[in-house]
Amino acid sequence: MAASEGFGSWRHLAGRFFGALSPAGPPPEDEAWALGSLLDGEKQLWYRMSGPDQRHAVGVARDTLRFLEPDEAPPEVVTAALLHDVGKVEAQLGTFARVGVTLAALAVGRARLLHWAGSGPPAAVPSPSEASAPSGPLRSSRRARVGMYLSHDALGAQLLRQAGSRELTILWAREHHLEPARWTVDARLGAALKAADGD
């Protein structure tokens, strides 16, 4: 397993950085297409995502469909692509802070950075009754936000479960930074989603 434990790559980081320099969201036709694949609760999460994150999500969703034959792509694979990074909304980190965190994760490893941030590595898809996102003073601290950014996979799965998302959407949010051997999602769908993410 890489030092970053599947969290980011130099190529992905560069692409996301330059893409994030513009705060604009996706074109209206792309957003309408995306919203057509989201449940009501998921739309509320979509509106919390930043413009660059929404553009990234649409790009991943469209590329995922390109990597699958039409009869191989269930509707929820688009939703899974659109919302795989939704947990980042909890961290509320700007572009430069995200770059710093990703560089640090690549340099020292995600687990060590999580330890510094006071968060343990996520272990499983949380149920609604399990751990919730930090709140109060902790939530506003920089370390806590770094921890939430590094845990955006588990946080996203939690948000999606609360939103009533389908299983593939929840699981892919949780597993999109894991090695393929640890996926529980369909390997063919996971491979397409991962390739489209470029991470």
How many residues bind Fe ion (CB under 5 A)? The answer is 2
**Site stretch for Fe ion (CB under 5 A), options 26-34, 46-54, 80-88, 93-101:** 80-88
What DSSP state is assigned to residue 112? H
Contact call for residue 53 and Fe ion (CB under 5 A): no
User: How far apart are alpha carbons 62 and 164 in whole angstroms?
Assistant: 23
End-to-end CA distance of the chain: 14
User: How far apart are alpha carbons 12 and 8 in whole angstroms?
Assistant: 6
**Site stretch for Fe ion (CB under 5 A), options 24-32, 35-43, 70-78, 83-91:** 83-91
Contact call for residue 175 and Fe ion (CB under 5 A): no
Binding mask 130-159 toward Fe ion (x if CB under 5 A, else -) reads ------------------------------
* 80/144 with CB nearer Fe ion: 80
Contact call for residue 197 and Fe ion (CB under 5 A): yes
Contact assessment for residue 198 and residue 12, using Cβ atoms and an 8 Å cutoff:
yes
List 5, 85, 90, 175, residue binding Fe ion (CB under 5 A):
85
CB of 3 to Fe ion, least distance (A): 17
* 42/197 with CB nearer Fe ion: 197
* 134/156 with CB nearer Fe ion: 156
Residue 30 class from Cβ within 10 Å (0-12 exposed, 13-18 middle, 19+ buried)?
middle
Contact call for residue 5 and Fe ion (CB under 5 A): no
Element (H, E) at 174: helix 167-175
In 4-151, which ranges are continuous DSSP H helix? 10-19, 28-35, 40-48, 51-66, 75-83, 95-108, 110-117, 137-140, 142-150
Question: Under the rule (CB under 5 A), what is the footprint of Fe ion?
Answer: 85, 197
